[in-house]
Amino acid sequence: MASKSTTPEPTGGFVPSNPLILQSDRSLLLEVHNPRFEAARAAISPFAELEKSPEHIHTYRISALSLWNAASTGLTAPGVVEALGEFAKFPLPSNVVADIQDLMGRWGRLRLIKIGKGMCLDADDPALLLEIARHKSVQPFWGKQISPRRVSIPLEFRGVIKQTLIGIGWPVEDIAGYSPGESLDLELKLDRFEIRDYQRDAAESFYLSGTERGGSGVIVLPCGAGKTIVGLAVMGRVKQSTLILTTSRTSVHQWQREIQDKTTIPESDVVEYLGDSRRLGPVTLATYQMLTHRPDRTEEFPNLKLFNAREWGLIIYDEVHTLPAPIFRVTAEVQARRRLGLTATLIREDGRETDVFTLIGPKRYDAPWRDLEQRGWIAQAVCVEVRCPVPRETRMAYATAENKARFRIASENPVKVGVTERILKNHPEAPSIVIGQYIEQLETISRKLGAPLMTGKTTQRERERLFEAFRRGEIPVLVLSKVGNFAIDLPDAEVLVQVSGTFGSRQEEAQRLGRILRPKADGRTAHFYTLVSHETEEEEFAHHRQLFLAEQGYTYTILDEEEV
């Protein structure tokens, strides 16, 4: 007698005109030229991660974390399966459907809840709690068994238990509530500015009317879409003492200006914890660099005490995808504070997305870039990759160099200087930014263009002067090092030329495009150029850099150097 097959049967029908193929390894193949491509991409982006985006077929993958983030925003397993089935060319593999149901079904089955002055882990099934208790990694954080479904968890382990449990495949919904922070007398000056509908929705998705299910999580919005306004809207709901952490002094000053312009908080109550001025106030602003500074590598980080220096009711992590490791560690210890992460992308090149999920909170709101572009909230953008030939002498140096040196040689290709000049001549009236990784290359470009160069050594006062002159149109071109990756408020910037970057960093590519996405007064299109040395490993890194933006619906036109 023939043995019975254990291979699951596919589900659904066969629609050859559809653009999507779901494979049994949870990968998704999406046909770019199919008429339904855009609709399919929008449908799967909330629960699938883009991996490859060549010209004809884009590859996505469904991961456990992508499904848990989707579940945390209210998306259900039937909803995911329905979206896949609507666009699938072939029947859905049953094993993947089962995986989706299983993984999304795990969200909410384990909850951290408050009991009296303590906290416990609550499971929906005694067998699940027993299964988890057998893991050695969990046992150091286990407290007293309260009931077959509940075990006490010491308050100091609130963060680390979530990290540990997601490591064994079980996400925890944290609804244990928050400590009341010091009250903050705050009103928004709504006669001075308008909160856009998506900004209001994002703030409410985080706050959730003050219920225990709100108060921690990440808001994902494109650069230029007003994440600072979302932060202010959340502050207006929480009305408690707030610690704001961000990437640079420039960003600190930007937050300070926005708070003073758009809220009723007295100027004296908004203070900077920077350099020699380490004061605290009802609203305190600091940089990640300041908090992670230490006099000696063998010492602790003295400024991390800021997290416990006041009864904060809210901690805002600006550009949360850049969070340094020491900040993760101390964040695990302050889980009783409300925590808001703001970012344009959840991608981390160090792979610590699960730590953002567990310690800051799950994704609460995500607005597709193209949707906001179509509504006019961010500028339309044209992305162009210019492939630059490598001169013979540079090619020889590249061919004989060690692996680590090859990327820099390709990045500093001297042909890029002339290409940059020609690009800017093609946009003679456009306020433009040139940005790169290597100072010597940028110094050469700065001299050629007669444009000021800003690097990490540029004083804060000089940075502010240059930014203001650019805003007024007195300086048409700025040349920036990596200091330009974050927190630059240049609303009129229209052209950006990227001459070099940090290997294959997807987050850096997104941040740099974001420098020119603020809507233009007359609706002009933004132009993003990335210069890549032809037939070098820089091409491969460039492809990886572009993945996130491809997921957002941007496509790169490829030009040869002579076509510019």
pLDDT tens-digit map of 393-443:
999 999 999 988 999 999 999 999 999 999 999 999 899 999 999 999 999
Q: State the pLDDT at residue 491.
A: 67
Question: Does 320 reside within a domain?
Answer: yes
Relative to beta strand 110-115, strand 173-174 is parallel
Relative to beta strand 277-278, strand 338-343 is unpaired
Helix (H, G, I), strand (E, B) or coil at 548: helix
Summarize the confidence of residues 444-462 as an average pLDDT. Answer: 93
> How far apart (Å, rounded) are the C-alpha atoms in residues 120 and 201?
31
Percent of the chain with pLDDT over 90: 71
Per-residue pLDDT at 199 exceeds 60: yes
Question: Does 3 reside within a domain?
Answer: no
Whichever domain contains 386, its CATH number is: 3.40.50.300
Give the residue among 430, 346, 419, 408 at the shortest CA–CA distance from 384.
419
Question: Does 271 reside within a domain?
Answer: yes
Question: Does 307 reside within a domain?
Answer: yes
When pLDDT is cut at 50, 70 and 90, the band that residue 4 belongs to is: very low
> Based on the domain organization, do 163 and 261 belong to the same domain?
no
Read off the pLDDT of residues 457-470 as tens digits, 9 standing for 90 and up. 998 889 889 989 99
> Based on the domain organization, do 215 and 236 belong to the same domain?
yes
- Asked which of 140, 174, 208 is the last residue of a domain, the reply is 174
> How far apart (Å, rounded) are the C-alpha atoms in residues 68 and 73?
9
Query: What is the helix (H) or strand (E) element at residue 415, kind and residue range?
Result: helix 415-425
Range scoring the smallest mean pLDDT among 10-14, 18-22, 33-37, 161-165: 10-14
When pLDDT is cut at 50, 70 and 90, the band that residue 169 belongs to is: very high
How is residue 127 written in tokens? 């067998």
Question: Does 497 reside within a domain?
Answer: yes
> How far apart (Å, rounded) are the C-alpha atoms in residues 156 and 162?
12
> Based on the domain organization, do 408 and 353 belong to the same domain?
no
Location of structure tokens 């070098």: 536
- Asked which of 88, 106, 124 is the last residue of a domain, the reply is 106
> Based on the domain organization, do 71 and 206 belong to the same domain?
no
> Based on the domain organization, do 390 and 339 belong to the same domain?
no
Q: Can you give the length of the chain in residues?
A: 564
> How far apart (Å, rounded) are the C-alpha atoms in residues 359 and 368?
24
Question: Does 15 reside within a domain?
Answer: no
> Based on the domain organization, do 259 and 234 belong to the same domain?
yes
338-343 β-sheet, strand order:
277-278, 270-274, 283-287, 242-246, 314-318, 338-343, 216-220, 363-366
Percent of the chain with pLDDT over 70: 97
C-alpha distances out from residue 219 to 204, 317, 454, 508, Å? 11, 10, 30, 18
Contact 315, 307 (CB under 8 A): yes
> How far apart (Å, rounded) are the C-alpha atoms in residues 407 and 539?
10
> Based on the domain organization, do 540 and 473 belong to the same domain?
yes
Question: Does 4 reside within a domain?
Answer: no
Domain count, the chain: 4
Residue 22 carries which side chain, given as an amino acid letter?
L
Per-residue pLDDT at 1 exceeds 70: no
Give the residue among 136, 99, 128, 98 at the shortest CA–CA distance from 111.
128
Q: State the pLDDT at residue 505.
A: 84
> How far apart (Å, rounded) are the C-alpha atoms in residues 545 and 507?
8
Helix (H, G, I), strand (E, B) or coil at 343: strand
When pLDDT is cut at 50, 70 and 90, the band that residue 12 belongs to is: low
> Based on the domain organization, do 361 and 430 belong to the same domain?
no
Read off the pLDDT of residues 535-552 as tens digits, 9 standing for 90 and up. 999 999 888 888 888 878
Close Cβ partners of 432 (under 8 Å, ≥ 6 residues apart)? 424, 476, 477, 478, 493, 494, 495, 496, 497
When pLDDT is cut at 50, 70 and 90, the band that residue 10 belongs to is: low
Read off the pLDDT of residues 261-288 as tens digits, 9 standing for 90 and up. 999 999 999 999 987 778 899 999 999 9
Location of structure tokens 């003492």: 241
Question: Please, which residues bridge with residue 286 across strands?
Answer: 245
> How far apart (Å, rounded) are the C-alpha atoms in residues 319 and 508?
11
Tell me the Cα Rg of the chain.
25
Residue 192 carries which side chain, given as an amino acid letter?
R
What are the E-state strand segments in 370-476? 381-388, 432-435, 453-454
> How far apart (Å, rounded) are the C-alpha atoms in residues 555 and 203?
30
Triad 163, 551, 83: Cα angle to 5°: 80
Q: State the pLDDT at residue 97.
A: 97
Burial of 2 (0-12, 13-18, 19+ CB in 10 A): exposed
Summarize the confidence of residues 229-256 as an average pLDDT. Answer: 94
pTM over 0.95: no
Side-chain half-sphere exposure of 319, counting CA atoms within 13 A: 23
pLDDT, greater one: 374 or 215: 215
> Based on the domain organization, do 138 and 48 belong to the same domain?
no
Can you list the pairs that 348-351 forms with residues at least 24 positions away whose Cβ atoms lie under 8 Å? 348/321, 348/507, 349/505, 349/506, 349/507
The per-residue pLDDT of the chain, averaged, comes to: 91
Whichever domain contains 160, its CATH number is: 3.30.70
Question: Does 429 reside within a domain?
Answer: yes
- Asked which of 366, 389, 404 is the last residue of a domain, the reply is 366
Contact 483, 248 (CB under 8 A): yes
> Based on the domain organization, do 253 and 402 belong to the same domain?
no
When pLDDT is cut at 50, 70 and 90, the band that residue 128 belongs to is: very high
Range scoring the smallest mean pLDDT among 49-58, 86-95, 175-184, 307-316: 49-58
Neighbours of 59 (CB within 10 A): 18
Q: State the pLDDT at residue 215.
A: 94
Pick left, alpha or beta for residue 465 (phi over 0 → left; psi -120 to 50 → alpha; otherwise beta).
alpha
Burial of 207 (0-12, 13-18, 19+ CB in 10 A): buried
Contact 245, 252 (CB under 8 A): no
> Based on the domain organization, do 239 and 281 belong to the same domain?
yes
Residue 75 carries which side chain, given as an amino acid letter?
L
Read off the pLDDT of residues 84-110 as tens digits, 9 standing for 90 and up. 999 999 999 999 999 999 999 999 999
C-alpha distances out from residue 564 to 26, 259, 419, 444, 450, Å? 40, 43, 7, 20, 21
When pLDDT is cut at 50, 70 and 90, the band that residue 6 belongs to is: very low
Query: What is the helix (H) or strand (E) element at residue 449, kind and residue range?
Result: helix 439-449
> Based on the domain organization, do 287 and 204 belong to the same domain?
yes
When pLDDT is cut at 50, 70 and 90, the band that residue 290 belongs to is: very high
Residue 5 carries which side chain, given as an amino acid letter?
S
Parent domain of 161: 110-174
